[in-house]
Amino acid sequence: MWFVLACGAILVGLDDPDSKSPAAPRATHSVESALVTLIEEASIPARSNGVLDSIPVKAGQLVEPEAPLAQLDEAEATLAVERVTQEVEVARKQAASDVKLRSARRAFDVAKRNLKRAEESNDRRKDSVSEAELDALSFKAFNAELEVEQATNDRAIAETTLQLRQVELRQAELALSLRRIEAPFAGMVVQVHQQAGEWAEAGKPLVRIVRLDRLRVEGFFKSHEVDESLVGRRALLTVDLPGRRGVRFDGGVTFVSPEVNPVNGQVRLWAEVDNPGLKLRPGVRGRLEILEDAPPTQRSE
């Protein structure tokens, strides 16, 4: 049987089982004054000393990961990279060259052959080569062998020197990269501490950014009501926003503290909610509900 509403535009089927909508998930836990907080925030410091060439961001600006936040003067660091790059090339050529080693080996071969011929001559004709000449030839062969060892050692040192210069190049490139300050995550710039032309000191903050596209909701529940089994459950936050009441944001439970407050017997619980359009702001409070076991959704109402 059908009933027509007074407006004549909506029909409700009381007897048709196919007309029934699926029931919405039921809240199993709730708290009225959950606090919205940040998941990620960072005061980005200068990573080296120097004059600020530029800070290309301003408060309220949205930035993506690795977006430039500040640039320090890099003239000296650039020159250091160029110098060490040339030193690496010199070391590479020295390590690749085997001229001295080949020359030493050739000299050693000649000295050994000369000594051998002298000894064979003496075997064929006694005293054809004097003892003094044999000693001199033997000494030359010995020195030639030492030259081979020295050339081999010099080449090994050249290869080690190349590795050292390559490390120095990486250090110089790192020092250059430290002159550029980038955003560690997507977020909004909320504070700029210094301006172009000022002196930046390593460790002192230049820019503060916060992540707003996903926020944390913190609520407190009686210890006998919640445990770690709630992690992963769908959560629903309802807040009043300027000009809109009862706006809902979907998310999921991410953490249930193992600690119980001995004074009030409560346990801290965290949920994370998506914040499309960045309408939800840290610091507001709202109603947090933990729904029946169901995967989190990615939309807000």
For the chain, what is the domain count? Answer: 3
Look up residue 12 and give its two tokens. 């409700």
Provide the pLDDT for residue 299: 46
The rounded distance, in Å, linking the Cα atoms of 176 and 75 is: 9
Same domain for 34 and 53? no
Same domain for 59 and 33? no
Are 301 and 280 contacting, i.e. CB atoms less than 8 angstroms apart?
no
- If the chain, 301 residues long, is cut into consecutive pieces of 10 residues, what is the mean pLDDT of each piece? 36 38 74 95 95 96 96 96 97 93 93 90 84 89 93 94 97 96 95 96 96 96 92 95 93 96 95 94 95 60 46
Same domain for 185 and 121? no
Closest C-alpha among 199, 210, 193, 207 to residue 44:
207
Same domain for 205 and 241? no
The rounded distance, in Å, linking the Cα atoms of 151 and 102 is: 9
Same domain for 184 and 66? yes
Provide the pLDDT for residue 90: 96
The rounded distance, in Å, linking the Cα atoms of 238 and 241 is: 10
Instruction: Specify which residues 182 forms β-bridges with.
Output: 68
13 part of a folded domain: no
The rounded distance, in Å, linking the Cα atoms of 69 and 47 is: 12
Look up residue 222 and give its two tokens. 């009686």
Domain that residue 28 falls in: 20-39+211-291
138 part of a folded domain: yes
Same domain for 51 and 34? no
The rounded distance, in Å, linking the Cα atoms of 218 and 267 is: 10
The rounded distance, in Å, linking the Cα atoms of 128 and 252 is: 101
Same domain for 161 and 96? yes
Altogether, the residues listed in the chain come to a count of 301
300 part of a folded domain: no
Provide the pLDDT for residue 125: 85
The rounded distance, in Å, linking the Cα atoms of 290 and 292 is: 7
Instruction: Specify which residues 29 forms β-bridges with.
Output: 290
107 part of a folded domain: yes
The rounded distance, in Å, linking the Cα atoms of 295 and 233 is: 6
297 part of a folded domain: no
239 part of a folded domain: yes
Whether the full predicted model's pTM is greater than 0.75, yes or no, is no
Question: Residue 194 is part of a domain; what is its CATH number?
Answer: 2.40.50.100
The order of strands in the sheet holding 50-54 is: 180-182, 68-72, 50-54, 199-200
Neighbour-count burial for 285-294, b at 16+ CB within 10 Å, e otherwise:
bbbbbbbeee
296 part of a folded domain: no
149 part of a folded domain: yes
Closest C-alpha among 184, 154, 194 to residue 72:
194
Same domain for 130 and 111? yes
Q: Which helix (H) or strand (E) holds 239?
A: strand 234-241
Same domain for 173 and 79? yes
Q: Which helix (H) or strand (E) holds 80?
A: helix 75-96
Same domain for 147 and 219? no
Are 168 and 83 contacting, i.e. CB atoms less than 8 angstroms apart?
no
